[in-house]
């Protein structure tokens, strides 16, 4: 009998200990919540998770993915920037560090900005024109881990930039910084130039900010936006604190923003935490399998805590235009009819996005909705369009990331669809650590590869010229991994790029339609959305379709 | 005893170096090109050559290994992550306390549960308590860590709201700004991971303890003790448990050592950034220095705990010393 008592007492004491621990800390949390609810919307700590991901880098001279830019938007100060406004208004640039939009010379090649006085970094030092000159140098310097500016052809835009990227000069000769006056000398008139400056590469940095040969770049550095990076533990925790010197129009609601990355998590734990108010927001969004349930629980999208926001992106299946059989335009058109967009989107669950068979996306100048191929498979039409090109065509290589369940399912689905029009396919899994390397290497053997493009800046040039200008094709690192090079289309792109205003928008609308109906270099699939849940206490959720996230500095947990 | 200790220490060092050689060869010789991974995107041949030189990959393999060992012993350096440039020592320094908190706390939980249940089952074989214990053992052995963790997180963390669903707080106050810390928060956040560990391991230990106690109860010296009039309590604690716990100590040392190398599933479910979690992530990204660092650390942990087990074993059972 005594032994039984010993065991019972032991179990009882364990249970009591657990309960005491649970209730004491739990009560403390509830008490804090009640106190804070009485305060203003400003204040508090915004707790953010990043499931299934982490930041590549928070160095503005290296960052080139949306989650990195989401943070940099809260820490950086650009000459021109996006306001904290929802919808279309949020994608209209306003002069932030600049007093006004720039003055442009008559020949269109000299662009001059005058900076506001009194702007400061979080360490109290002044923001000057040299801060932006350095930002340009860091994105193009061969002394950096990667010269991402070349992706967007920045090296061709400014006088002396190519020589600088080649390591022949110490500075970009076409950028002059004197006090608060910054002048760019462009190689040719460029109507997109001001839009480009809204990219997070062009955050003000101290002129002394070093170059970095490490992929994570400089971890902490003075910044001039609403927040600064107080802690940056790569792959783990990032803490942003309010910059007391920022007095611009963008919001700085939370006192601190704490972002914990969980690369191995699928987001289920974060979802439960948000529902229990233990977490405010997950940058990984709601796991696809849970979207339907979450939508039902919270009364549908955008009616409370569950949100769905469109992104300025187009997801596509890239075709290799340089390799048989996708080097044949009739095969490419046949694939556009045969694969089917809606069935693939359904693999991602509800509210995943809207089908599209064009390159431009809503919100871009020149976007005009059209549908050339339809959203559902049409095998009869595909066979008719493909004609003899489908007969005896070699097997296609479908390149995909096998680490992703969706990509794997998608590749298998495509293979099955191809069989309906008499084509065979090999599924070619990528190296899990290097998806884009082989894709961007000239001579690659893929025929179909899942990929996509999000707006670097709001201009059709960024979607059409950047991706489909075959003159940019090099041995490696190709943005045009379609290997599409058509001299006639190149000329049309050059012409459209030289226009401005309505003429430019119309020219790009025509280019978008011509590209897809005449050449079909890709299989545009859908415009994705970001599906996310916020905790009950989170207010002032302003979604940016440019970043594809709600704006962190605007969220309120006060 | 001194001779025994010296011999064991020598073997611990020898094993450690053998393990590092094997680890080094596996991770630095078999992969295609570590320099290419380290060099990153748009790596041109000239820079690739520089990177290869800086990583000493242009030297013969034995020299590379020697530099690796030298850096490890002289500078306590395990290199730098290819992915984010962080010092591997820093990464392990961040991860190890998380995993250690999980494993040691979990060990306390599973022992606290399995010892009483195991003894009780052994003392009352085929009783209702024993049968319940066996059901518990079967469920614990059969259920994957991920499933147990998710069920606990959902029921206790989400539905009942008694504990945090996931996350970690540092034991000692301080750490990164905006992050939680302190013993109370630390324990509060680890209750569910510890319980997950408890269910996984307690099942095995209940079975082990039950079998050992039952076997020891039939030994001659136990019968002799009873015949001499020793109380049931004295027989159990002084004669049965001391001997039946020897295999438990051995297994415990090995389990703790192995678990320190990575409790991947538990860490993943509860969003704990420990060694296992980082090992998996680094392996996916071909981040070889971190993989090597964690493996070396885990090897060291296994060796150290085996050494401690050996010493404890020798202390508990004098025959061990005499025979070695």
Which residues in chain B (59-98) have CB-CB distances under 8 A to chain A? 81-86, 94
- Considering only CB atoms, A145 lies closest to which of B40, B163, B286, namely B40
Which residue on chain A is closest to B50 by alpha carbon?
A: A213
Whether the predicted pLDDT of A7 surpasses 50:
no
Q: How far is B226 from chain A (nearest CA, A)?
A: 18
Whether the predicted pLDDT of A154 surpasses 60:
yes
- Considering only CB atoms, A278 lies closest to which of B162, B164, B278, namely B164
Q: A514 or B197, which is more confident?
A: A514
Whether the predicted pLDDT of A435 surpasses 50:
yes
- Considering only CB atoms, B162 lies closest to which of A2, A22, A432, namely A22
Partners of residue B198 in chain A, C-beta under 8 Å: none
CA-to-CA dists, residue B319 to A17, A460, A479, B209, B235, angstroms? 40, 82, 71, 22, 21
CB contact under 8 A, B157 and A272: yes
Looking at residue A152, what is its pLDDT? 81
The Cα B301–Cα B102 span in angstroms is 15
The pLDDT tens digits of the residues spanning A275-303 come to 999 999 999 999 999 999 999 999 999 99
Please state the rounded mean pLDDT for residues A409-433. Answer: 93
Looking at residue B202, what is its pLDDT? 86
Which residue on chain B is closest to A151 by alpha carbon?
A: B42
Question: What share of chain A in percent tops pLDDT 90?
Answer: 78
Whether the predicted pLDDT of A345 surpasses 60:
yes
Looking at residue B19, what is its pLDDT? 82
Domain boundaries, chain B: 2-75, 95-321
Q: How far is A398 from chain B (nearest CA, A)?
A: 22
Whether the predicted pLDDT of B28 surpasses 70:
no
Which residues in chain A (301-330) have CB-CB distances under 8 A to chain B? none
DSSP letters for B252-275:
HHHHHHHHHT--HHHHHHTT---H
Partners of residue A272 in chain B, C-beta under 8 Å: 153-154, 157-158, 165-166
The pLDDT tens digits of the residues spanning B79-95 come to 888 877 788 999 999 89
Interface test with B, best of A27, A47, A58, A215 (most B CBs within 10 A): A215
The Cα A407–Cα A131 span in angstroms is 42
Q: A224 or B148, which is more confident?
A: A224
Whether the predicted pLDDT of B188 surpasses 70:
yes
Cβ pairs A/B, distance under 8 A? 134
Q: How far is A445 from chain B (nearest CA, A)?
A: 19
Partners of residue B40 in chain A, C-beta under 8 Å: 145-146, 215
The pLDDT tens digits of the residues spanning B98-114 come to 999 999 999 999 999 99
Please state the rounded mean pLDDT for residues B3-15. Answer: 82
Domain B95-321 in CATH 1.10.3720.10: yes
Question: What share of chain B in percent tops pLDDT 90?
Answer: 18
Whether the predicted pLDDT of A55 surpasses 80:
yes
Which residues in chain A (422-481) have CB-CB distances under 8 A to chain B? 432-433, 437, 476-477
The Cα A92–Cα A511 span in angstroms is 23
Whether the predicted pLDDT of A315 surpasses 80:
yes
Q: How far is A23 from chain B (nearest CA, A)?
A: 7
Which residues in chain B (189-218) have CB-CB distances under 8 A to chain A? 191
Q: Does A18 touch chain B (CB under 8 A)?
A: yes
Whether the predicted pLDDT of A33 surpasses 50:
no
Q: B243 or A189, which is more confident?
A: A189
pTM, two decimals, is 0.84
- Considering only CB atoms, A269 lies closest to which of B86, B166, B285, namely B166
Looking at residue A24, what is its pLDDT? 36
Partners of residue B154 in chain A, C-beta under 8 Å: 272
Q: B73 or A527, which is more confident?
A: A527
Which residue on chain A is closest to B45 by alpha carbon?
A: A476
Whether the predicted pLDDT of A401 surpasses 70:
yes
| Contact (Cβ atoms closer than 8 angstroms) between residue A529 and residue A353 | yes
In this prediction, the answer to ipTM > 0.85 reads no
CB contact under 8 A, B188 and A21: yes
Q: A543 or B130, which is more confident?
A: A543
Average model confidence (pLDDT) across chain A: 90
CB contact under 8 A, B286 and A433: yes
A402 burial type by CB count under 10 A (0-12 exposed, 13-18 middle, 19+ buried): middle
Looking at residue A15, what is its pLDDT? 41
CB contact under 8 A, A18 and B277: no
A326 contacts: CB under 8 Å, gap ≥ 6: A319, A320, A332, A335, A396, A447, A448
Least trusted range by pLDDT, from A5-9, A94-98, B194-198, B222-226: A5-9
Enclosing H/E stretch for A550:
strand A549-550
The Cα A344–Cα B122 span in angstroms is 58
Q: How far is A136 from chain B (nearest CA, A)?
A: 19
B264 contacts: CB under 8 Å, gap ≥ 6: B276, B277, B279, B280
Tokens 């290296």 belong to residue: A62
Which residues in chain A (200-219) have CB-CB distances under 8 A to chain B? 214-216
CB contact under 8 A, A22 and B188: yes
Looking at residue A320, what is its pLDDT? 97
Interface test with B, best of A62, A255, A262 (most B CBs within 10 A): A262
The pLDDT tens digits of the residues spanning A498-545 come to 998 999 999 999 999 999 999 999 999 999 999 999 999 999 999 998
CB contact under 8 A, A272 and B153: yes
- Considering only CB atoms, A278 lies closest to which of B40, B165, B285, namely B165
Q: B125 or A319, which is more confident?
A: A319
Q: Does A268 touch chain B (CB under 8 A)?
A: yes
The Cα A193–Cα B321 span in angstroms is 80
CB contact under 8 A, A26 and B119: no
Q: For chain B, what is the radius of gyration of the CA atoms?
A: 24
Q: How far is B6 from chain A (nearest CA, A)?
A: 40
pLDDT band per the 50, 70, 90 thresholds, residue B31: low
CB contact under 8 A, B83 and A214: no
Looking at residue B7, what is its pLDDT? 83
DSSP letters for A194-224:
HHHTTSGGG----TTPPP--STT--S-----
pLDDT band per the 50, 70, 90 thresholds, residue A10: very low
Looking at residue A138, what is its pLDDT? 96
Looking at residue B181, what is its pLDDT? 85
Whether the predicted pLDDT of A553 surpasses 50:
yes
Looking at residue B320, what is its pLDDT? 66
Question: How would you write A99-132 as a 3-class SS string?
Answer: CCCCEECCCCCEEEEEECCCCECCCCCECCHHHH
The pLDDT tens digits of the residues spanning A233-268 come to 888 899 999 999 999 999 999 999 999 999 888 899
Which residues in chain B (164-193) have CB-CB distances under 8 A to chain A? 164-167, 176-179, 184-185, 187-188, 191
**CB neighbourhood size of B201 (10 A):** 24
Whether the predicted pLDDT of A38 surpasses 80:
no
Looking at residue B35, what is its pLDDT? 75
pLDDT band per the 50, 70, 90 thresholds, residue A21: very low
The pLDDT tens digits of the residues spanning A93-136 come to 999 999 999 999 999 999 999 999 999 999 999 999 999 999 99
Whether the predicted pLDDT of B15 surpasses 70:
yes
Q: B138 or A6, which is more confident?
A: B138
CB contact under 8 A, B191 and A239: no
């Amino acid at each position: 009998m005594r032994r039984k008592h010993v065991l019972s007492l032991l179990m009882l004491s364990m249970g009591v200990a657990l309960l005491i621990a649970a209730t004491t800390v739990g009560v403390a949390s509830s008490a804090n919540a009640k106190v804070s609810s009485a305060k203003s919307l400003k204040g508090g700590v915004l707790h953010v998770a990043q499931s299934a991901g982490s930041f590549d880098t928070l160095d503005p001279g290296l960052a080139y993915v949306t989650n990195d830019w989401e943070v940099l938007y809260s820490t950086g100060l650009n000459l021109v920037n996006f306001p904290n406004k929802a919808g279309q208004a949020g994608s209209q640039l306003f002069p932030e560090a600049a007093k006004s939009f720039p003055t442009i010379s008559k020949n269109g090649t000299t662009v001059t900005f005058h900076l506001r006085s009194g702007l400061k970094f979080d360490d109290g030092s002044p923001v000057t024109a040299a801060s932006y000159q350095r930002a340009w140098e860091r994105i193009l310097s061969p002394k950096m881990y990667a010269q991402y500016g070349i992706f967007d052809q920045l090296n061709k835009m400014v006088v002396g930039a190519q020589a600088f990227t080649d390591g022949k000069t110490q500075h970009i000769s076409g950028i002059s910084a004197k006090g608060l006056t910054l002048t760019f000398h462009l190689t040719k008139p460029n109507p997109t130039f001001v839009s480009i400056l809204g990219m997070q590469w062009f955050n003000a940095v101290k002129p002394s900010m070093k170059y970095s040969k490490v992929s994570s770049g400089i971890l902490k550095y003075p910044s001039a936006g609403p927040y600064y990076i107080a802690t940056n533990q790569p792959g783990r925790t990032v803490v942003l604190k309010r910059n007391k010197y920022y007095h611009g129009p963008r919001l700085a609601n939370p006192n601190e923003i704490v972002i914990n990355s969980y690369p191995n998590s699928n987001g289920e734990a974060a979802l439960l935490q948000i529902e229990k108010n233990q977490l405010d927001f997950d940058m990984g969004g709601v796991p696809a399998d849970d979207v339907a349930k979450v939508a039902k629980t919270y009364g549908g999208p955008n009616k409370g805590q569950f949100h769905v926001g469109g992104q300025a992106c187009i997801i596509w299946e890239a075709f290799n235009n340089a390799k048989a059989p996708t080097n044949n335009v009739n095969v490419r058109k046949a694939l556009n009819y045969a694969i089917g967009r809606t069935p693939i989107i359904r693999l991602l669950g509800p509210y995943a996005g809207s089908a599209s068979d064009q390159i431009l996306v809503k919100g871009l100048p020149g976007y005009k909705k059209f549908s050339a191929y339809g959203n559902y498979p049409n095998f009869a039409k595909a066979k008719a369009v493909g004609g003899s090109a489908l007969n005896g065509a070699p097997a296609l290589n479908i390149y995909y990331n096998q680490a992703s369940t969706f990509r794997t399912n998608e590749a298998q689905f495509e293979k099955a669809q191809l069989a309906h029009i008499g084509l065979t396919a090999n599924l070619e899994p990528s190296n899990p650590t290097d998806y884009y390397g082989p894709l961007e290497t000239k001579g690659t053997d893929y025929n179909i590869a899942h990929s996509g493009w999000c707006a670097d800046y709001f201009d059709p040039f960024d979607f059409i010229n950047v991706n489909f200008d075959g003159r940019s094709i090099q041995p490696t690192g190709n943005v045009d991994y379609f290997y599409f090079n058509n001299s006639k289309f190149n000329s049309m792109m050059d012409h459209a790029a030289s226009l401005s205003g309505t003429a430019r928008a119309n020219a790009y609308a025509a280019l978008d339609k011509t590209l897809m109906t005449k050449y079909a270099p890709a299989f545009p699939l859908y415009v994705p959305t970001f599906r996310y849940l916020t905790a009950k206490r989170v207010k002032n959720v302003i979604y940016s379709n440019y970043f594809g996230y709600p704006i962190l500095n605007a969220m309120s947990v006060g | 005893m001194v001779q025994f200790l010296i011999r064991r220490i020598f073997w611990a060092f020898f094993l450690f170096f053998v393990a590092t050689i094997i680890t080094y060869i596996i991770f630095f010789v078999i992969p295609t090109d570590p320099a290419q991974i380290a060099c990153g995107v748009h790596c041109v041949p000239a820079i690739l050559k520089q990177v290869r030189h800086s990583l000493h990959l242009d030297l013969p393999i034995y020299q590379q290994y020697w530099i690796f060992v030298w850096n490890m012993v002289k500078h306590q350096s395990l290199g730098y992550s290819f992915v984010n440039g962080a010092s591997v020592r820093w990464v392990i320094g961040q991860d190890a306390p998380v995993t250690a908190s999980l494993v040691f706390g979990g060990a306390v939980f599973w022992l606290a549960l399995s010892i009483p249940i195991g003894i009780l089952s052994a003392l009352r074989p085929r009783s209702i308590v024993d049968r319940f214990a066996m059901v518990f053992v079967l469920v614990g052995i059969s259920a994957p860590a991920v499933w147990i963790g998710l069920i606990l997180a959902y029921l206790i963390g989400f539905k009942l709201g008694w504990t945090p669903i996931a996350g970690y707080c540092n034991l000692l106050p301080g750490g990164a700004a905006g992050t939680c810390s302190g013993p109370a928060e630390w324990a509060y956040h680890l209750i569910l991971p510890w319980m997950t560990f408890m269910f996984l391991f307690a099942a095995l230990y209940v079975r082990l303890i039950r079998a050992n106690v039952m076997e020891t109860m039939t030994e001659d010296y136990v019968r002799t003790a009873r015949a001499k009039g020793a109380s049931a309590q004295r027989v159990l604690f002084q004669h049965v448990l001391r001997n039946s716990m020897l295999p438990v100590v051995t297994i415990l040392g090995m389990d703790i050592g192995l678990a320190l190398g990575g409790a991947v599933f538990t860490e993943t479910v509860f969003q704990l950034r420990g060694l296992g979690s980082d090992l998996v992530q680094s392996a996916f990204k071909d981040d070889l220095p971190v993989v090597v660092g964690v493996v070396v650390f885990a090897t060291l942990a296994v060796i150290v705990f085996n050494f401690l087990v050996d010493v404890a074993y020798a202390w508990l059972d004098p025959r061990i010393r005499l025979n070695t």
